[in-house]
Structures are given as C-alpha cells and as structure tokens.
Amino acid sequence: MSKPELEFHLPTGPWTAPAGAVQGVVERELAADGSGTRRTALVRWEPGTDTSAQGVTRHDFWEEVYLLEGDMHDLTLGETFTRGSYACRPPGMPHGPWTTSAGVTMLVVIYPVDTYPET
C-alpha cells in the first residue's frame, strides 16, 4: 500500500494528540498509507514538553525528523538541536528522552524496515 498522490495544497487536517504521547504533543497528518507503516506528519511540542517519563525510545521502523522551528534538548546526549537539524533513525536506534524550552515543530516521516532490505 502506498501514500496517496497529493499535489501542493495547504494541509487542513486537525491537530490531534498521538496515542501514548506526553501532554503538549500534537500532530497533523499530511499523508499516510492507511496501514500506519508509512506516514508523514507535522509534529508540534508545546514549550516545556518533557518526555523523560517515557525514557529512551526505540522504534521498529525508519524515522526521519527535520526541525522546522524551535528547539529539542536530548537529555541522553546533553545536546540541544534547533531549526534545520535533521535525524535519520534506522529501526532500533535509541534516542531521547527530550525536553523543549521554546517548543518545537518538526516534519516526521516514518516507513517500514522492509523499505531497505539487507543486501
């Protein structure tokens, strides 16, 4: 299954809290394949959001993240990332937990592990 064909448009979908997300996190889905394994979304964290309670995160899918505005502080690395920062995380890569002082808006793309089969 693939994502829909969409020409340039202004996304108007609702901002919703993702399942299991901490308080202050909302997302607007831009495109999805319907199975939940291929998605593109804008994700917004309100100022002061803290994911410490969730600990270090690992996914069973690929995740690409591009920070559009604001900041994210990685508590494990002790480093703050700002607008223009990019991450490409293969399945199983540990990351976070995170805090944000100013809030952050990011573009997030996820896709399944079989997208890039081992050679």
Return the percentage of the chain with pLDDT > 70, whole number: 95
Q: CA 101 to CA 25: how far, in whole Å? A: 13
Asked whether residue 119 carries a pLDDT value surpassing 60, the answer given is no
- Give domain status of residue 15, yes or no: no
pLDDT, residue 56, reads 97
pLDDT, residue 61, reads 94
Asked whether residue 7 carries a pLDDT value surpassing 60, the answer given is yes
- Give domain status of residue 49, yes or no: yes
- Give domain status of residue 40, yes or no: yes
- Give domain status of residue 60, yes or no: yes
Question: What's the alpha-carbon Rg for the chain, to the nearest Å?
Answer: 14
- Give domain status of residue 53, yes or no: yes
- Give domain status of residue 31, yes or no: yes
Q: CA 31 to CA 74: how far, in whole Å? A: 27
Q: What is the dihedral of CA 40, 14, 59, 66, to 10 degrees?
A: 50
pLDDT, residue 36, reads 79
The total number of structural domains that make up the chain:
1
| pLDDT, tens only, 39-58 | 999 999 999 999 999 999 99
36: left (phi over 0), alpha (psi -120 to 50) or beta: left
Token look-up 């997208």 returns 115
* Token reading at 32: 């999805």
Cβ atoms of 112 and 61 within 8 Å: the answer is: yes
CATH of the domain at 103: 2.60.120.10
- Give domain status of residue 64, yes or no: yes
What is the extent of the structural domain holding 63?
Answer: 25-112
| pLDDT, tens only, 55-96 | 999 999 999 999 999 999 999 999 999 999 999 999 999 999
Asked whether residue 6 carries a pLDDT value surpassing 60, the answer given is yes
- Give domain status of residue 13, yes or no: no
pLDDT, residue 116, reads 56
Going from the C-alpha of 16 to that of each of 13, 20, 117, the distances in angstroms are 9, 12, 33
